[in-house]
C-alpha cells in the first residue's frame, strides 16, 4: 500500500503512472495520447478531435453503445477531451469493475473500426458543433485573435478545426491519423485509486505487451513566438454585451516564468484553476481588475485564462461590458493597472495572498480520485509527472522581483492583441 506515485515503462514504450488510494473503493483510469491540434497540418485541422469521436464508435469486441451501457450500469462514468497538445480518455469506476476500462482502452488503441457510415454520421456531428460554436461571441473572438497571434504554428487553429477541412477530411485520413498516433510509445496511462500496483501492472502488461510501438510519426511544428506586434481586431454579431479580450504571449508550462504569470493573473483577475473536473472556486473580488473595473462600474465581469502548453502560447484577459459602456475607458484602466505591476514592486502581503489563493485552488482540484489521475497524465503531456509534485514549491518561490520582470516581459502593450466584439444593435 502506498500513496506515492510509481512509474513503469513497458518494453513497447507505454508509460504507466500509478498512485494507490484506498480510502474509497474507486479507480480512475486515464489514457493520454501526445496528439492534439498542435500536431495537425494544413487541410487536416480538427482531425484529432474527430478521431476522439470515432473512438466511441466501437470495435469488434466492444460494438457501439454496448460499453456505455455497461459502464453506466456499474455506476461509472467516462469521457474524452481533445486539446492543443493532447487527447485523453477517462473512466472512473468502482474498484472491482476497473478491468472493463483496462480492457476497453487496450482494445480501442488498435482495433477501432472507423466504419465509413459512422464516419459520415460523425461528420455531421462535428460540423454541427463547429457551426454552433460560431454563434458564440467568445469563440469567434478567440479564433480571430489566435489567427492573428500565430503566423504558421497550429496553435492558431481551433481544436475543432476549420469548417472547410471538416467537410473534406475522408475516412482514410482519420484512420491513418489514428494508426500513426495511437500507439504505446505515444501514450501515458494514469491510474489512481483502490488497487494494488503490482497486480495492475501485471494486467496492463498482459493487455499491451503485444501492441507494437509506431516510432516517431507525429508531426511536430517548429516553435513560434506569438504576438509579435500590437493589433486591434473588431467584429460585430448577435448579443447583449460587449466582449473585450486582451491577449499577451505566455511561456511554456515547463518554465519558471509560467508560475510567475499564474501569480500575476491571480493579482490581476483572480485565481483560476487548471483542473478540468471540478475543484471549487475562489472569489476574484480581491483582484486589482475586479476592484478597478467591476466595482467602478466599468464592466460586469473580468477573468483571466492561462493554459499549460508545450510551446509558448497566450494569456487572455476577458472583460464583459454592458453596451452603454466605453471600451476606451476600460482599456485605459487595464493599462494603468498593468503599468503599476511593471513599475511598482508588489507588496509581499499581496503576493502571499495571491499564492495562497492559487494553492487553495490546486488543493481543491486535487482532492478527488478523478482529478488526481488527471494531474498525473496532464503534467506528463508538457513536462512529466514531477511537474505536479513541484507545483506548490514553484508557486512558493515566486517573489516580487520575478513578478516585476515577468510583467515587463509578457504584459507588453507592444506585443498585445485587443479583440472587441460588439452587438450589432449597439447604438440603435
**pLDDT 10s digits, 116-166:** 999 999 999 999 999 999 999 999 999 999 999 999 999 999 999 999 999
pLDDT at 428 over 50: no
> Is 58 exposed, middle or buried, given 0-12, 13-18 or 19+ CB atoms closer than 10 A?
buried
In the predicted structure, residue 426 carries a pLDDT above the cut 60: no
* Residue 263, C-alpha cell as written in the block: 501569480
**87 pLDDT more than 60:** yes
The torsion region of residue 112 among left (phi > 0), alpha (psi -120 to 50) and beta comes to beta
* pLDDT average, residue stretch 84-88: 98
Looking at residue 168, its pLDDT comes to: 98
Stated as kind and residue range, the H or E segment containing 361 is helix 348-364
DSSP secondary structure letter of residue 347: P
- pLDDT band (50, 70, 90) for residue 5: very high
Closest CA to 244 of 151, 131, 97, 137: 137
Q: How far apart, in Å, are the Cα atoms of 154 and each of 39, 45, 151, 220, 339?
A: 7, 8, 9, 10, 32
Q: Cα(336)–Cα(363) distance, rounded to whole angstroms?
A: 33
Reported as a pLDDT band with limits 50, 70 and 90, residue 45 is very high
Instruction: List Cβ neighbours of 333 (8 Å cut-off, separation of 6 or more).
Output: 289, 292, 293, 296, 298
Cite the DSSP H helix spans in 209-325. 256-269, 288-289
| C-alpha cell, 31 | 489514457
State the Cα–Cα distance between residues 199 and 195, nearest whole angstrom: 8
pLDDT for res 237: 87
**How confident is the prediction for the chain on average, in pLDDT?**
93
Out of 3.40.50.300, 3.40.50.150, 3.40.50.620, 3.30.830.10, the CATH code matching 231-423 is: 3.30.830.10
Q: What DSSP designation does 58 have? A: B
User: Which triple of cell numbers denotes residue 365?
Assistant: 482540484
From CA 111, how far away is CA 124, in angstroms rounded?
Answer: 23
Q: What mean pLDDT comes out for the span 381-399?
A: 92
User: Roughly how many angstroms between the first and final C-alpha of the chain, as a whole number?
Assistant: 68
pLDDT single digits (tens) 295-326: 999 999 999 999 999 999 999 999 999 988 88
What percent of the chain has a predicted confidence (pLDDT) above 70?
97
Q: Provide the pLDDT for residue 27.
A: 97
- Distance (Å, rounded) from C-alpha 43 to C-alpha 217? 18
pLDDT tens for 16-41 read 999 999 999 999 999 999 999 999 99
Q: Is the pLDDT of residue 1 over 60?
A: no
Q: What is the mean pLDDT of residues 201-225?
A: 92
Q: What are phi and psi of 417, to 5 degrees?
A: -105, 135
Give the list of residues 6+ apart from residue 338 with CB closer than 8 angstroms, or none: 268, 407, 411, 413
**What is the phi/psi pair of residue 196, to 5°?**
-105, 125
What average pLDDT does range 243-255 have in this prediction? 97
Q: Is 256 a residue whose pLDDT tops 60?
A: yes
* Residue 88 φ then ψ, to 5°: -140, 150
Q: Where are the alpha helices (DSSP H) in 305-347?
A: 327-343
**Furthest C-alpha separation in the chain:** 69
- Supply the pLDDT for residue 215: 78
User: Which pTM does this prediction carry?
Assistant: 0.94
Assigned superfamily of 5-208 = Metalloenzyme, LuxS/M16 peptidase-like (3.30.830.10)
In sequence order, which residues have a C-beta less than 8 Å from that of residue 65 and are 6 or more positions away?
58
Mean pLDDT, to the nearest integer, of 329-340? 97
pLDDT at 423 over 90: no
Which one, of 83, 86, 93, 89, lies nearest residue 112 by Cα? 89
Q: For the chain, give every residue range classified as CATH 3.30.830.10.
A: 5-208, 231-423
pLDDT at 279 over 80: no
pLDDT at 2: 47
Amino acid at each position: 500500500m502506498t500513496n506515492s506515485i510509481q512509474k513503469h515503462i513497458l518494453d513497447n514504450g507505454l508509460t504507466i503512472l500509478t498512485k494507490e488510494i484506498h480510502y474509497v473503493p474507486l479507480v480512475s483510469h486515464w489514457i493520454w495520447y501526445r496528439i492534439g491540434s498542435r500536431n495537425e497540418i494544413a487541410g487536416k485541422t480538427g482531425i484529432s478531435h474527430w478521431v476522439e469521436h470515432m473512438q466511441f464508435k466501437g470495435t469488434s469486441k466492444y460494438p457501439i453503445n454496448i460499453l456505455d451501457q455497461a459502464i453506466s450500469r456499474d455506476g461509472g462514468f467516462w469521457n474524452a477531451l481533445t486539446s492543443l497538445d493532447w487527447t485523453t480518455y477517462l473512466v472512473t469506476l468502482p474498484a472491482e469493475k476497473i478491468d472493463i476500462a483496462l480492457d476497453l482502452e487496450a482494445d480501442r488503441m488498435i482495433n477501432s473500426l472507423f466504419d465509413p457510415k459512422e464516419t459520415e454520421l460523425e461528420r455531421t456531428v462535428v460540423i454541427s458543433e463547429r457551426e454552433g460554436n460560431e454563434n458564440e461571441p467568445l469563440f469567434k473572438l478567440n479564433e480571430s485573435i489566435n489567427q492573428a497571434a500565430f503566423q504558421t504554428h497550429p496553435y492558431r487553429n481551433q481544436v475543432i478545426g476549420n469548417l472547410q477541412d471538416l467537410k473534406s477530411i475522408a475516412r482514410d485520413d482519420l484512420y491513418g491519423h489514428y494508426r500513426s498516433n495511437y500507439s504505446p510509445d505515444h501514450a501515458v496511462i494514469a491510474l489512481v485509486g483502490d488497487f494494488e500496483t503490482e497486480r495492475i501492472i501485471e494486467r496492463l502488461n498482459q493487455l499491451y505487451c503485444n501492441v507494437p510501438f509506431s516510432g516517431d510519426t507525429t508531426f511536430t511544428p517548429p516553435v513560434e513566438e506569438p504576438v509579435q506586434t500590437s493589433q486591434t481586431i473588431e467584429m460585430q454579431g448577435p448579443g447583449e454585451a460587449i466582449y473585450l479580450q486582451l491577449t499577451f504571449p505566455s511561456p511554456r508550462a515547463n518554465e519558471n516564468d509560467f508560475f510567475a504569470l499564474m501569480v500575476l493573473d491571480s493579482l490581476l483577475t483572480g485565481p483560476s484553476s487548471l483542473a478540468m473536473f471540478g475543484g471549487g472556486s475562489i472569489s476574484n473580488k480581491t483582484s486589482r481588475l475586479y476592484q478597478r473595473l467591476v466595482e467602478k462600474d466599468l464592466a460586469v465581469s473580468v477573468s483571466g485564462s492561462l493554459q499549460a502548453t508545450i510551446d509558448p502560447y497566450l494569456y487572455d484577459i476577458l472583460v464583459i461590458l454592458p453596451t452603454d459602456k466605453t471600451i476606451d475607458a476600460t482599456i485605459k484602466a487595464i493599462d494603468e493597472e498593468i503599468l503599476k505591476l511593471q513599475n511598482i514592486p508588489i507588496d509581499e502581503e499581496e503576493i502571499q495572498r495571491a499564492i495562497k489563493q492559487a494553492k487553495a485552488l490546486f488543493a481543491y482540484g486535487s482532492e478527488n480520485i478523478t482529478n488526481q489521475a488527471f494531474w498525473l497524465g496532464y503534467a506528463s503531456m508538457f513536462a512529466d509527472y514531477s511537474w505536479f509534485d513541484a507545483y506548490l514549491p514553484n508557486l512558493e518561490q515566486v517573489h516580487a522581483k520575478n513578478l516585476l520582470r515577468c510583467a515587463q516581459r509578457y504584459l507588453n502593450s507592444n506585443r498585445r492583441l485587443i479583440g472587441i466584439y460588439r452587438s450589432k444593435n449597439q447604438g440603435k
